[in-house]
A and B are shown apart, each in its own frame.
Chain A
Amino acid sequence: MSKIGVFICHCGENISATVDVERVAREIGGMEGVAHAIDYKYMCSDPGQTFIKEAVKKYGLDGVVVGACSPRMHEPTFRRACAEAGLNPYLCEMANLREHCSWVHEKSEETTEKAIDLVKMMVEKVKKNKPLDSIKVPVTKRALVIGGGIAGIQASLDIANTGHKVILVERDPSIGGHMSQLSETFPTLDCSQCILTPRMVEVAQHPNIKLYTYAELESLEGFIGNFKAKIRLKAKSVNYSTCTGCGACIQKCPVKKIPSEFNAGLGTRTAIYVPFPQAVPNKPVIDRVNCNYYKRGACKICEKTCQVGSIEWDKEDEIITEEVGAVVLATGFDVKGTDFFPEYGYGQYKDVLTGLQFERLASASGPTFGEIRRPSDGAIPKKIVFIACAGSRDPAKGIPYCSKICCMYTAKHAMLYQHKVHDGESTVFYMDIRAGGKNYEEFVRRAIEEDTVNYVRGRVARVYEKNGKLIVKGVDTLLGGEQVEIEADMVVLATAGVANCGSEQLAQKLHVSYDPYHFFAEAHPKLKPVETNTAGIFLAGACQAPKDIPETVGMASGAAVKVAALFSNDELVREPVVAVVNRLAPPLYSTCVGCFMCETACPYNAIEHEEIKGRDGSLIRTIARVNQGLCQGCGTCVAFCRSKSIDIQGYTNEQVYAEVMSLLND
């Protein structure tokens, strides 16, 4: 028979004022299986805990129930006390006599009776409790960072500086991301490349960082502390160990008219190319889709030019496997193209640009070397219109959210334009100006007041081309809804920031949840903004939602700290509240019949297929097995299992059944 100790707390007068605590202790003391029952003023105090510890030893208790406050408050306290007395902490349960009883009811017979019932319920539960051990998982102290934009760069450097190894994977031939494309940055107008490129170089030279550019994640298996990542190294067609990065091949390449991704389509590049002059690594790759040799089987001019013989025509994609303990997702974002906007011409007008394209025009390293010129005829635009909120905050376009960065960069664009074209006239159409951030509002005021940018509050209904001009038809809602028509030379759309292409597929590969717009979902919107629902995978930057550079860097450092904290222990200790599939002696092995309906129900992909094999190695059955590293203990599979083959520790079928039955037995 069980020997359970019951400890009823007065909580000063919090409980005893409405509940007859002495009667509770007395009646529970008479229950079958209860060896010891007392009440005391403050169970959580030092003397209170000592009562429990001593009783555990004195009566040889095999279960403890503390009738006190909410277990959400003091469960760890009392479990620790039990453990110190040598009792398995998971044999201690709490009955919530304060929040769920004394505080919500008046002093009465019924209140005391309810308290007795609540304690009884936990006594019946504890009778079915089993000693549990914390789950320990070894940790591989190496991190995988996916995406080499500013988020990935910052996260990699921060993790690497704590002394842990980092593997940084970048899809493009160079790291740098969108930040490398920007001209100047708000609100200080310092040059983006000037602050970014030193970091890029630092990544390349850091002894703890292994950089894979032109590579993509193929698959990720395993769980926190123990991931296995397969990475596809796309064939660069250039041997980087011998290539000196002299660039001669690039100059000789005859295919010169490929729209440059780095210049957002405004400039051109060759088929063998380095995306931009400050690229890291500063060595070329061959774009096989556009290369004459791969297209038609002839050319090879680059090979003839290369003095060190670095061109590798037959190089194939290579897949490597890396073992890592944590993953930081920093895959960034993308912006909608002008073709997304029927009302602004479906992308058919050359002088209607996206904000990103304008960045390239304004950048000293851009196709016009920083001069603002029209892509159509190269003329300097005398009248320019910026449309903030192009697509964003527009449910009809399927993008109801605010892209957050546009208000600021549009102010910056207008300012840069005014600085470069002194006699130019710029107009910004906006819905609201959202300039929340240090020195942000001041920056926007400067654009309006010092640089005389004309801010019009209202939307633009249509842009069309007539006689070489772009006719912008909008409305000024501050002046009684007056219609505004501007004959502009250039229109810049602050197009919505959207999830990067392929993010949905990547999320599915990693089993990370994502929102309806394919941005990765954080584990908790307030308290776990850098964690994902999959333990060991963290988020940094705009892959979670559009954000600016300081926020991205802050989040990346946050993710890095989470990784470092994970790596600070050799083993990961977890609560043993996890699901378990029963195992029995042969010939049954388990009551699980392997229908694997639990597999689709599990939010964490914790259900694995376990093959039961005979001595001769032949397959007898395939049953489910719970990966204890991945299981978070929700118990959805338990309620779903028809044959009751899965149970969850701490809330087993026997425990909850006993609880329910105890409540109404009379």
Chain B
Amino acid sequence: MKKLRDRAAELLSQGVVSLVIGYEEGTKRPRPLFCRNSEGAEKLIFDSHCFHNLAVYITKKELVGKERFAVTAPISTLRSIMQLYVENQLSEEKLLVITVDLSGELREFTTFDEIAAYVAQFELKRGEREQEILSKIEGMTREERWKFWMEEMSHCFKCYACRSACPLCYCSKCVVEVNRPQWINPWPAPLANMEWHINRAMHMVGRCTACGACGDACPVGIPVDLITRKMMEDLAPEFGYVPGQPAKQGNALSSWKLDDREQFIR
């Protein structure tokens, strides 16, 4: 912790970066901290409770400005950073990534290749909550799944917190705001909610890194993160991608293989 604070203060005071995005103590759990000077760096913390995905801030131009900045990133954030890089949203010159590894040592990454190599050591596993709900869903009939989601969707009031929390939802104009034509009705209603979430999952194919930020953000507790998570678990092996370790040859949907499955095609 001390090392992290010292290093952040050093980076800021030496002018290497103009901003360090990290975590500070919050009321219930750590919250994001944006420090622009070495005094602010004193508040920095980094521990296992710091799982809020900070990658969501690094595509916000109004926040990070034009100068170089640093971000302290746990694994989930590192995966998102890799995906953002593949999607041409980040440049190595502008971003300094810092993490604390398992042995408590400070590690700095200046290239995305280094991040990819580091992230590759960590396997993505279902947590207890995910396992519980997903195994419940996996055991349902189709009709039961429809009922389950319809019940869940009836709570959604289209606040789009799931979208705001997702580092990969960086479009300047989201499809729900497109009104010529109005693809998805703007009001909260089960079908429009359902369409929104199906649409969100389709947009995440080959991209979602299963950080869980969307589900975490939902104020009414809809497990929206599990839609993309399950999608990703089902499709990643088939399409040959590893979440957070993206290959440069294109997204799962913008590429194809001659022998892709087609038993469902008559």
Contacts and interface: CB of A to CB of B under 8 A. Distances in A.
Does B bind A?
A: yes
Interface of A: 588, 591, 593-601, 622, 640, 642-645, 653-654, 657-658, 661
B186 interface: no
B173 interface: yes
B215 to A, nearest CB: 20
A642 B175 contact: yes
A644 B249 contact: no
Interface in B239-259: 249-251, 253-255
B86 to A, nearest CB: 9
Contacts of A595: 87-89
B255 A654 contact: no
Interface string B203-214: 100000000000
Contact of A654 (B87, B180, B253): B180
Given A600-B251, A645-B173, 18 more contacts: A591-B172, A591-B173, A594-B89, A595-B89, A597-B250, A598-B254, A599-B250, A599-B254, A600-B249, A601-B250, A622-B88, A643-B173, A643-B175, A644-B178, A644-B183, A653-B183, A654-B180, A657-B183
A642 B207 CA distance: 12
Contact of B253 (A599, A622, A640, A661): A640
A600 B254 contact: yes
B181 interface: yes
B171 interface: yes
B170 interface: yes
Interface of B: 87-89, 170-175, 178, 180-181, 183, 203, 249-251, 253-255
Given A597-B254, A598-B254, A643 B89 contact: no
A658 B88 CA distance: 34
Nearest to B252: A597
A594 B254 contact: no
A645 B253 CA distance: 17
A596 B255 CA distance: 13
10 contacts: A593-B171, A594-B88, A595-B87, A596-B87, A597-B253, A598-B254, A642-B203, A643-B174, A643-B175, A643-B178
A647 B173 CA distance: 15
A642 B181 contact: no
Contacts of A597: 87, 250-251, 253-254
A598 B253 CA distance: 10
Contacts of A594: 88-89
Nearest to B89: A595
B133 to A, nearest CB: 27
A642 B171 contact: yes
B175 A596 contact: no
A611 to B, nearest CB: 12
A640 to B, nearest CB: 6
Contact of B255 (A591, A600, A644, A657): A600
A593 B170 CA distance: 8
Nearest to B87: A595
Nearest to A637: B254
B167 to A, nearest CB: 13
A642 B163 CA distance: 13
B49 to A, nearest CB: 32
Contacts of A661: 181
A627 to B, nearest CB: 18
B253 to A, nearest CB: 6
Nearest to B203: A642
By CB atoms of chain B within 10 A, which of A594, A644, A653 has the most?
A644
Nearest to B199: A642
B87 A591 contact: no
A442 to B, nearest CB: 42
Contacts of B175: 642-644
A41 B57 CA distance: 66
Contacts of B173: 588, 591, 643, 645
A599 B249 CA distance: 10
A585 to B, nearest CB: 13
Contacts of A601: 250, 253-255
The 6 closest A-B pairs by CB, nearest first: A600-B250, A601-B254, A657-B181, A591-B173, A595-B87, A643-B171
Contact of B254 (A588, A591, A622, A640): A640
A642 B251 CA distance: 13
Nearest to A642: B203
A644 B173 CA distance: 9
Nearest to A661: B181
B110 to A, nearest CB: 21
B117 to A, nearest CB: 23
Given A642-B171, A642-B203, A643-B172, A596 B178 contact: no
Contacts of A644: 175, 178, 183
Given A597-B250, A598-B254, A642-B203, A591 B171 contact: yes
B241 to A, nearest CB: 13
Contact of B181 (A643, A645, A658): A658
Contacts of A642: 171, 175, 203
Nearest to B258: A516
Contacts of A653: 180-181, 183
A423 B161 CA distance: 92
B7 to A, nearest CB: 30
A113 to B, nearest CB: 25
Contacts of A596: 87-88
A654 B178 CA distance: 11
B67 to A, nearest CB: 13
Contacts of B170: 593
